[in-house]
Amino acid sequence: MSSASSNMTSNLNAVAAATAKTPSQAPVRNSLWWDAFRRFKKNKIGVVSFWVIISYVIIAILAATGLIFPDAQVPNQAEAYSSISWAHPFGTDIFGRDILGRAVHGIVTAISIGLLASTLSLVIGLVLGAIAGYFGGKVDAFVVWLYTTVDSIPYILLIPSLTFVLGRGLINVFIAVGLTSWVTTARLVRGEFFKHKSREYVMAAHAIGAGDGRKIFGHILPNVAHLAFVQFGLGFVSAIKIEVILSYLGLGVDPSQPSWGLMIDDAKNELARPYWGNLAAATVFMFGLILSFNLFNDALREALDPKMKNK
């Protein structure tokens, strides 16, 4: 008995000594997110692409507030199709507008479509996937029916039909893309909720009287949120690519708005003459943004993958 208690005191002492020591070192935080952050920091390609994305965002904000390229939209017939110069590194277009300025303003269109459409599809996918996986039964059958239906119509038909019905314009493009691209997210989240809903931590939450809403959003959702991050990035990229194609088909943003798709559409008739400024500028700017997003997504997925832990 006495030996046990002395053991205990020595243990306590050891713990006290250990805690006394720690303030001098940085506390090591061990959660899924910190692990992922540490793994992400080691991935150089991921970090570089993250900063490229941030620069795109800053340029977009500067352009949207009119601090850079304020008159990219102002036609200047006298300068139509001028060739490359310091003032116009990509030349000017048919209306004499600076192509570089148009491409920079195209970032604003692309990023806003990407953000809004992927947010919309993420919210729909998360909510539907969560309630389907959590409640099961009839709710699940309905959600599965809904996403299989949406999924069976190819996007090349569904999205043009939707924008055709809604009319063209920035808002309608993001609604059309958002309403049609939530299927994968819903399917993945549903699967995760199926797995998680009978786990011990959810049972424990149930035992202390947590309601359905609290269990879904307070307990399970944070544990499947890593999926949402990756899906958001993928949605962002595909929304931008779809916008470009829609605008080219004449179903996308309004022709008065700067858009890479509209620039490529212009280029179609200009290449033979040969004015390649529109095509080059739209491609270069789009390539930079999409590639860094693709690489960032890839790094993020690896960092968040629990199988990669301690590697």
Partner 1 sequence: MVPILIGVTFLTFMLFNLFGGDPAVRFAGKHATAEQVQVIRAELGLDRSLPEQYLFFVKQIATFDYGRSWASKQLISTMITDGLGATLSLTAPAFFASIAFCIGLALFAVYGRGTMLDRGTVVVCLGLLSISSLVYILGLQYILAFKGGFFPISGWDPSWVDRWGYLVLPWIILFVLSLGPNILIYRTVIMDEAFQDYVRTARAKGLAERHVYAKHILKNAMIPIITVIVIEMPFLITGSVLIENFFGIPGLGGTLIKALNDSDFPTIKAFTVISAMTYMVFNLLADVLYSLVDPRVKLS
DSSP letter for 69, please: S
How far is the CA of 221 from the CAs of 145, 197, 246, in angstroms?
A: 23, 10, 34
Nearer to partner 1, 164 or 229 (CB): 164
Nearer to partner 1, 133 or 261 (CB): 261
Name the packing angle between helices 170-180 and 155-166 (round to 10°): 140
Nearer to partner 1, 63 or 280 (CB): 280
Name the packing angle between helices 99-135 and 277-304 (round to 10°): 30
**Six-digit token string for 234:** 């993928």
SS3 for 1? coil
Q: Does 42 bind partner 1 (CB under 8 A)?
A: no
Among 166, 210, 225, 230, binds partner 1 (CB under 8 A): 166
Q: Does 161 bind partner 1 (CB under 8 A)?
A: yes
Residues 126-145 that bind partner 1 (CB under 8 A): 145
The least CB distance from residue 257 to partner 1, in Å, is 17
The least CB distance from residue 208 to partner 1, in Å, is 37
Instruction: Convert residues 248-277 into a mask of x (bound to partner 1 by CB under 8 A) and - (unbound).
Output: xxxx--------xx--x--xx--xx-----
Nearer to partner 1, 173 or 267 (CB): 267
Cα 262 to Cα 174: distance, rounded to the nearest angstrom? 16
The least CB distance from residue 311 to partner 1, in Å, is 11
First to last CA, the chain: 45
DSSP letter for 214, please: I
Q: Exposed/middle/buried for 261, CB within 10 Å: 0-12, 13-18, 19+?
A: buried
Residue pair 40/300 in contact by the 8 Å Cβ criterion: yes
SS3 for 98? strand
Nearer to partner 1, 57 or 146 (CB): 146
Number of helices (H), then strands (E), belonging to the chain: the values are 13, 0
Among 16, 153, 203, 308, binds partner 1 (CB under 8 A): 153
Q: Which stretch binds partner 1 (CB under 8 A): 67-75, 85-93, 187-195, 279-287?
A: 279-287
The least CB distance from residue 76 to partner 1, in Å, is 26
CA angle 283, 107, 56 (to 5 degrees): 100
Q: Which stretch binds partner 1 (CB under 8 A): 26-34, 68-76, 80-88, 164-172?
A: 164-172
Question: Position of tokens 């190819």?
Answer: 154
DSSP letter for 129, please: H
Cα 144 to Cα 146: distance, rounded to the nearest angstrom? 5
The closest of 43, 18, 69, 126 to 303, measured between CA atoms, is: 43
Q: Does 178 bind partner 1 (CB under 8 A)?
A: no
The least CB distance from residue 45 to partner 1, in Å, is 7
Q: Which stretch binds partner 1 (CB under 8 A): 20-28, 197-205, 212-220, 244-252?
A: 244-252
Nearer to partner 1, 170 or 242 (CB): 242
Residues 281-310 that bind partner 1 (CB under 8 A): 282-283, 286-287, 290-291, 294-295, 298
Q: Which amino acid is at 108?
A: V
Residues in contact with partner 1 by CB under 8 A are 45, 145-146, 148-154, 156-158, 160-162, 164-166, 241, 244-245, 248-251, 260-261, 264, 267-268, 271-272, 279, 282-283, 286-287, 290-291, 294-295, 298
